Structure 1
Amino acid sequence: MVTPALLQKVATVQEFAQKHQAVAILNAGFFDPANQKTTSYVVIQGELVANPKENERLVNNPNLKSYLGQIFNRTEFRRYLCGQTIRYSIALHSQSPPAGCQLVDAIGAGPRLLPELTLEKEGFVDNANKRDALGSNQPNARTAVGITRDGSVILVMVAQKPLAPANSGISLPALADLMKTLGADQAMNLDRGSSSSLYYNGKTFYGKVDLEGNFIKRPVKSVLLVQKN
């Protein structure tokens, strides 16, 4: 079972692991490190537990004013209950659940990677004005979640190399290609860079490397948990 989790204060994936009995934990939604408030929606057990509209630094940022409509309607990784069946999906925040399904959990980030890469719409890439806040074409530590045709969930974290911090990692177009190669039909980007981190089977892996080649252990706001049913 793959579900989101959120803490009041930021924590490393290793600290999330100490709180939750999980097989694996992957960093997930966006947040503001300055005030530790979310910039992504998070729904857990049908309840909205994180609302970016309540983050005053986001809402009152003049540089983001024209983008707020898109920021509040980014892509989400969702878990539905359809009758007695659990189903995972990737959808925009404004999209309604399929007929006969109710939304149980959701966590937002973006941009969508598959079936198409939505860099202009969700990454706010503006090639004409050379705006690319996500550094989408630059190699970086990145995290993604995908869903295969049979409904399996793929969790991916691509790390940088300690000996080549400036030239390693992956771009967003390459990440989309990787998710497709791994069998995903649907996929989305999660928080990246210093946030990229993975806990699996008792071990913690960090994605971002500093100029000295040391992995950065940055606390995050929200994660995806892999737990046994």
Structure 2
Amino acid sequence: MRKIWLLGLTLVSLGTWLVLRSSLPSKSSVAPTPAKTIRYEQRTLPQSIAHILVIPANSQFLITPALSEQVATVEEFARKHQAKAIANAGFFDPVNQKSTSHVVISGQVVADPQKNERLVNNPNLKSYLSQIFNRTEFRRYQCGQTIRYDIVLHSQSIPAGCRLVDAVGAGPGLLPEITSVQEGFVDRTNGRDALDSTQPNARTAVGITGDGSIVIVMVAQKPSDSASGMSLPALRDLMKTLGVQKAMNLDGGSSSSLYYNGKTFYGKVNLEGNPLKRPVKSVLIVQ
């Protein structure tokens, strides 16, 4: 009887331990899941300084455009939107401070270059207007419960099952190919290259990698050389090394600027080597 009683007590104790054990969270369920964070890198290159942001795919961050009624610096955009990162985006007319790029925010058209009278009535641009209105743009779609980003021409139709949430245009496209002739109206025969595409300059670009990560690059001139920077072909090659498959050029030169984590970087420098803090019309915001 004593042996049976001891065996029963052992089984009861074992059962209690198993119940308690099963009620405790396993190590895998309590271990913290590392958050997907923005990766920032600064590269010092022979003719420029590249500031690189990588926003991982399926992270908690959203990349959306913002537009200011009056032009503003990326620092001013940052204070208003409390964003983690901001880069300059579309083209604009510094005289009337109106966008010359399409901008859509939360499904609403907030900037239409066809309503910019100085652009539309410019006789020197009349033959290019149809191309100006159909430049490349960075888009955010809502496809069911999934967010998708893409880089396409403005005339590109919206994918089935998706709705266009945000878009901001600029151009030309960089990857899979450079579309400088179509979008920048480069004409080697007549020496026309409004974007100085083959010359070094401050540049800004956005791209999408194969896994869906977003890459934002702002190329700054070196303080000691106001003629430094990067050409569009070199910018394309840099984006390629970052795993980017689709990319587009954003406004550059004096507009090139990037805000990240409380710090602001400007791309263009004056003859004294000081950064030019040019206000812009539209930006890409990382929140």
TM over 0.5: yes
| Partner deviation per Cα, 1:25-57 (whole Å, 9 max, x = no partner) | 000000000110000000001100001111111
Counterpart position of 1:195: 255
2:268 aligned with 1:213: no
- Distance between the aligned counterparts of 2:235 and 2:184, measured in 1? 14
Q: Residue 156 of structure 1: CA displacement?
A: 0.5
Counterpart position of 2:82: 21
Amino acid at match of 2:186: V
Counterpart position of 1:37: 98
By relative contact order (CA 8 Å, sep 6+), the higher-ranking structure is: 1
Q: Residue 101 of structure 1: CA displacement?
A: 1.0
Counterpart position of 1:178: 238
Matches within 5 A, 1:82-97: 82-97=143-158
2:107 aligned with 1:7: no
Match for residue 116 of structure 1 among 147, 163, 177:
177
- Secondary structure class of the residue paired with 2:181: helix
Q: Residue 205 of structure 1: CA displacement?
A: 0.5
Counterpart position of 1:77: 138
| Partner deviation per Cα, 1:106-152 (whole Å, 9 max, x = no partner) | 00000000000001001100011110000001100000000011111
2:127 aligned with 1:66: yes
- Secondary structure class of the residue paired with 2:82: coil
Counterpart position of 1:146: 207
Q: Residue 100 of structure 1: CA displacement?
A: 1.1
- Secondary structure class of the residue paired with 1:129: coil
Counterpart position of 2:39: none
Counterpart position of 2:194: 133
- Distance between the aligned counterparts of 1:56 and 1:87, measured in 2? 33
- Distance between the aligned counterparts of 1:173 and 1:123, measured in 2? 13
Counterpart position of 1:107: 168
Counterpart position of 2:32: none
Amino acid at match of 1:59: V
Amino acid at match of 1:45: S
Q: Residue 165 of structure 1: CA displacement?
A: 1.1
- Secondary structure class of the residue paired with 1:62: coil
Unaligned segments of structure 2, at least 5 residues: 1-61
Q: Residue 93 of structure 1: CA displacement?
A: 0.5
| Partner deviation per Cα, 1:137-177 (whole Å, 9 max, x = no partner) | 110000000001111100000000110111x1100000011
| Partner deviation per Cα, 1:180-227 (whole Å, 9 max, x = no partner) | 111100000000000000000000100001111110000000000000
- Distance between the aligned counterparts of 2:66 and 2:276, measured in 1? 22
Unaligned segments of structure 1, at least 5 residues: none
**Bigger Rg, structure 1 or 2:** 2
Amino acid at match of 1:223: V
| Partner deviation per Cα, 1:68-92 (whole Å, 9 max, x = no partner) | 0000000000000111000000011
TM-score (norm 1): 0.98
- Secondary structure class of the residue paired with 1:88: strand
TM-score (norm 2): 0.78
- Distance between the aligned counterparts of 2:184 and 2:195, measured in 1? 6
